[in-house]
Amino acid sequence: MTGRERGLLLIAAVAGLLALGLPWASGSSGYHYGGWYVAGSCVTTTDAEGYATLDCTPGYMSPGVYMAGTSAQPGYATDIRVWMGVTVVLLVTGLRRGSRKLQAGSLAVAVAGGLTHLNAMPGHLAYAVAVSIVAWVVLRPRAGNFVPT
């Protein structure tokens, strides 16, 4: 591996760490269920002697309910941290052993992890940059490898 490839992988590692700290899932704003009022009712009743009385039930009201929202989730609070961990282990093992299959496997795991969160949040974009750099390093032809033209 050349010094340039090492530098690119270092940039990918920084982008990956940045992705862990940036938001991956947007928060939801809180919402309020509106209140309601139920009016009371009165019924005229007569007793055994014929006297009429008014029997009333009270009305009631509810002010409603407020449901709090959620904050944006950073990458370390989502499942992407597991995908990134597996990717790093496969990539480092593949680079140490010189195994192109393990390196390609790490790239496949990285892409699959990115597909679990398809949105345009900052963490996902930083992760896409990291995966793109890793893809360039892993998939580019090296000396001694036959590449058909």
Burial of 138 (0-12, 13-18, 19+ CB in 10 A): buried
Residue 144 forms part of a structural domain: no
- pLDDT band at 143; cut points 50, 70, 90: low
Same-domain status, 85 and 127 = yes
118 located within any domain? yes
Asked if residue 48 belongs to a domain, the reply is: yes
pLDDT at 95: 87
d(CA 96, CA 27): 40
Q: How far apart are CA 101 and CA 138, in angstroms?
A: 10
Residue 61 domain flag: yes
pLDDT digits (tens, 9 = 90+) for 1-41: 788 888 999 999 999 999 999 998 777 777 888 888 988 89
Tell me the per-residue pLDDT of 80-98, one tens digit each, with 9 for 90 and over. Answer: 999 999 999 999 999 889 8
**CB neighbours of 129 closer than 8 A, spacing ≥ 6?**
12, 15
**148 pLDDT band (50/70/90 cuts)?**
very low
Cα–Cα distance, 123 to 21 (Å, whole number): 7
What is the tally of structural domains in the chain? 2
Are 78 and 62 in a shared domain? no
- Which domain covers residue 82, as residue numbers? 3-22+74-139
The alpha carbon dihedral of 33, 39, 40, 41 has a sign of negative
Q: Which amino acid is at 110?
A: A
Q: Does 78 share its domain with 14?
A: yes
Q: What's the token pair of residue 36?
A: 């309601």
Neighbouring-strand partners of residue 43: 55
60 sits in the region (left: phi over 0; alpha: psi -120 to 50; else beta) called beta
Report pLDDT for 106. 92
Q: Which of 42, 67, 92 is the last residue of a domain?
A: 67
CA dist 96 and 91 (Å) reads 9
Q: Has residue 147 been placed in a domain?
A: no
